[in-house]
Amino acid sequence: MKARPERIPVHPTIRSPWMHVAQAAAALAAGMGVGRFVYTPILPLMTAQAGLSAEAGANVATANYVGYLVGALIGILAPGLVRFPAANRTALVLLVITLAGMPLTHSITVWLLLRLLAGIASAIVFVVAVSSLLSHLRDHPIHLPGWGFSGVGAGIALSGVLVLILRSVSDWRAAWWAAAILAAVLAAGAWTLRPELPPTPATTATSVRAPRTRRWFTALFVSYTLEGIGYIIAGTFLVAAIDQTAPGWIGSGAWVLVGLAAAPSAVLWAWLGRRWSRPDLLLVALVVQAVGIALPTLVDGVAAALVAAFLFGATFLGISSIALATGTHLRFPRSVALLTGGYSAGQILGPLVVTPLLHHGYHQALLLGAVVVAVAALGAGALRVGFPHHAPDEQRLRTAVMPHPTSQHTGSIDSDHLIRSLPARR
């Protein structure tokens, strides 16, 4: 009796790349665009109508960032957990519940707890969605993951429009209810999102040990963590700062512009990545963002506020997509979760660092955020030095299997076939 040939497990493939992109975009819109960032346009309403002080508002924001760090740590310490669809679904449900709970109370303690839980849920959704995009679309055109990232900007724009409309006809409670409903609709669209593929046994080609990438990843990690500090200062207080010197609708309108600029930005930066290296793009994006954050502190008026909003929206999501794609390119273990952890740690520090400055308004806080982002750009500059632009495994494999130019040896390994079998460079 003949033995049956051993069956090699095959991971299920996605039927439609664009459907997968749409589901990931819906998840990111719910988890990040609404779940995290809707607090920014609602904050001035809560300050004016719910008696929330600037310092308490910063503490509520910090609670959300602490939760985000906890969620990122879950992705680092339990990577298998985020590969289960139930993790994403549970986080989406928790997110909707926490949004709906905000208008039910005036207790700052309860608000702190709700935003803490919302941060945990947002981080899990983010890690699941981004890991899924980078895993399932590895061999697809580079712009596809960028469209998935655009969900963050779309969620920001949608939630900003809701708050802009409701602030003239209702109050802060209605804004939170509308955010919960919007998040529920988006969660339904992301309900069947497939998480990332489980790791496969190393093939002959990829089992060749890759060169050390720790020094480049360290520079990337430091730069991205500093970006977390600087960007979240603007992400939390930009609308409130604009409200101090411009009509109320300008602040909410500027936040809508942030979302509209962010939605296509990841695709644009991905397209630019075909012509320029990721470290160069990261450096440029950070410099532009620093200018955008500083602009409202240097120039008064509606035009400056709108330009600042556009520059911020056009860069913060691009910076995230570039940084996470760079970590994946370096093939550093658990790069998405580690970078997200550093980023979220920076977000915790941001509001805490600027809280003493809020007694004098929000402009000094924004200026400090711009300085921190400028320092993050220096880290991106260090990343450019000797950066391995080819995938490390491919670079190592070329050295290992290709004959030395001075050697007459023509080994039996088909190196071209092996190199073609490597994952496509992104």
Each residue's pLDDT tens digit, 234-278: 887 887 777 777 666 677 788 888 889 988 888 888 888 778 888
Q: Give CA–CA dist 422/284, Å, rounded.
A: 30
Cβ atoms < 10 Å from Cβ of 376 = 28
Q: Is residue 394 part of a domain?
A: no
**Structure confidence at residue 285 (pLDDT):** 95
108-117, 168-177, 338-347, 379-388: which is most confident = 108-117
Q: Is residue 411 part of a domain?
A: no
Q: What are the Cα distances from residue 188, in Å, to 73, 125, 152, 270, 371? A: 26, 13, 16, 28, 40
Each residue's pLDDT tens digit, 63-79: 998 998 898 888 778 87
Contact criterion met (CB below 8 Å) for 278 and 329: yes
The residue-averaged pLDDT of 357-371 equals 86
CATH number at residue 91: 1.20.1250.20
Kindly tell me if the per-residue pLDDT of 97 is higher than 80.
yes
Q: Is residue 400 part of a domain?
A: no
Q: Give CA–CA dist 292/310, Å, rounded.
A: 8
**Structure confidence at residue 142 (pLDDT):** 66
Handedness of CA 70, 72, 76, 82 (dihedral sign): positive
Q: Is residue 12 part of a domain?
A: no
Output the pTM of the full model: 0.75
Q: Is residue 407 part of a domain?
A: no
**Structure confidence at residue 256 (pLDDT):** 86
Average per-residue pLDDT in the chain?
Answer: 80
The residue-averaged pLDDT of 110-121 equals 96
**Structure confidence at residue 60 (pLDDT):** 92
Identify the residue with better confidence: 11 or 86.
86
Q: Is residue 420 part of a domain?
A: no
Number of domains in the chain: 1
Identify the residue with better confidence: 2 or 54.
54
- Give the domain range for residue 63: 17-197+210-383
Contact criterion met (CB below 8 Å) for 205 and 362: no
Cβ atoms < 10 Å from Cβ of 193 = 24
Contact criterion met (CB below 8 Å) for 344 and 123: yes
Each residue's pLDDT tens digit, 176-201: 999 999 999 999 999 988 876 666 55
DSSP per-residue letters across 42-65: HHHHHHHHS---HHHHHHHHHHHH
Contact criterion met (CB below 8 Å) for 244 and 362: yes
**Structure confidence at residue 360 (pLDDT):** 75
**Structure confidence at residue 344 (pLDDT):** 82
**Structure confidence at residue 404 (pLDDT):** 38
User: Shortest CA distance to 33 belongs to which of 194, 380, 266?
Assistant: 266
Q: Is residue 406 part of a domain?
A: no
User: Shortest CA distance to 230 belongs to which of 353, 96, 401?
Assistant: 353
**Structure confidence at residue 207 (pLDDT):** 38
**Structure confidence at residue 8 (pLDDT):** 36
Q: Give CA–CA dist 307/86, Å, rounded.
A: 41
Name which of 97-111, 241-255, 382-396 the model is least confident about.
Answer: 382-396
The position carrying tokens 């330009």 is 307
Q: Is residue 8 part of a domain?
A: no
Identify the residue with better confidence: 258 or 211.
258
Kindly tell me if the per-residue pLDDT of 403 is higher than 70.
no
Kindly tell me if the per-residue pLDDT of 87 is higher than 70.
yes
Nearest-Å Rg of the Cα atoms of the chain is 22
**Structure confidence at residue 202 (pLDDT):** 47
Identify the residue with better confidence: 423 or 159.
159
